[in-house]
Amino acid sequence: MNGDSVDIDLARAWVQAIAATVDQHKDHLTQLDSAIGDADHGVNMHRGFSAAAALVGMEPDPVGAVLVKVGTTLISSVGGASGPLYGSVFRAIGRMLDTPTATTQEFTAALAAGLESIEKLGAAAPGDKTMIDAYAPALAAFQQRADAGADLAAAALAAADAAEDGMRATTPMQARKGRASYLGARSIGHQDPGAASTALIFRALAETAATR
Ligand code: ADP
Ligand code: MG
C-alpha cells in the first residue's frame, strides 16, 4: 500500500470509519430528518452501516468486493429511501474496483459510477436538495485533484470539504425529490439529511486516507 492507492485494508477501514461517524452523528441526522422528513435518517444510516461494518472483514481481493458487500447490506437492512440509494452507490463503486489495489484515478472513476447510480435510481439532479448536492461537488473536487496528480489523501480531503460546502448549500433549496418534496416551499431553510450523511461518508474517506 502506498499513499496513492486504495486496497482492501483501506476499503475496510473506510467502512469502519463511516460506521463510527454515523454512530456519533446519528441524532443529528435524525434531527435534520425530523424537520423535513420522518425523523428516521440517523436510525436508517446507523442500522445500515453497523450491519455493514460487522460483515466486512473476510473478503479476499478484489478491493471492490468489500464495497459491493456494503451496498448489498445497506439495501437489505435499511427500509428508507437512503438504503437503496446508498446501497446502489456502494455496489457501483465496488463493481468498478475489480483489482487488488486501485489507483486514485481508478477510484475517481468508481466514485463517478456511484454518482451515476444515485442519479439513475433517484431520478434526481443537482439542486433538488438531496445527497447529490453533496456528492456531485465532492466528486468534482476529487476528480480535479486527482487529475492534477494529487494522492488519495489530498483528493479525499478536497472532496470532504466540497461535500460539506454542498451540504450547507442545500439549506436554501426547495426539495424536489423524496419525502421533503411533499413540504414544497416549507422545505426551504433546512439542511438536507442525506447531504449531511454524504458529507460524513467523504470526511470518513479523507480521515481514513490521511492515517495511512
Ligand atoms: P426516507 O426519506 O425514506 O425516510 P431517509 O430519511 O433515510 O429515507 O433518507 C432521506 C434522504 O434521502 C434525503 O435527505 C435525500 O438526501 C435522499 N433522497 C430521498 N429521495 C431521493 C432521490 N430521489 N434521489 C436522491 N436522494 C434522495
Ligand atoms: Mg427519513
* CATH number of the structural domain spanning residue 95: 1.25.40.340
Tell me the residue range of the domain where 169 lies: 5-210
Into how many domains does the chain fold?
1
What are the pocket residues of ligand 1 if the criterion is a CB atom closer than 6 Å to any ligand atom?
33, 37-38, 40-41, 44, 80-82, 85, 118, 122-124, 130-132, 177-179, 192-195
Kindly report whether the peptide bond that precedes residue 62 is cis, defined as omega within 30 degrees of 0.
Answer: yes
Residue 1's pLDDT band, with cuts at 50, 70 and 90, is very low
The mean pLDDT of 16-22, rounded to a whole number, is 98
Handedness of CA 87, 89, 91, 94 (dihedral sign): negative
Q: Which of 177, 178, 171 is nearest to 80 (CA)?
A: 178
Q: Looking at ligand 1, which residue's alpha carbon is closest to its atom 9?
A: 82
Q: Which of 76-80, 126-130, 169-173, 176-180 has the lowest mean pLDDT?
A: 76-80
Dihedral angle computed from the Cα positions of residues 153, 69, 52 and 152, in that order, rounded to the nearest 10 degrees: 0
Residue 176 identity (one-letter amino acid): R
With a cut of 90, say whether residue 98 has pLDDT above it: yes
- The atom of ligand 1 lying closest to the CA of 40 is 6
Contact 39, 29 (CB under 8 A): no
What is the reported pTM?
0.97
The mean pLDDT of 68-97, rounded to a whole number, is 97
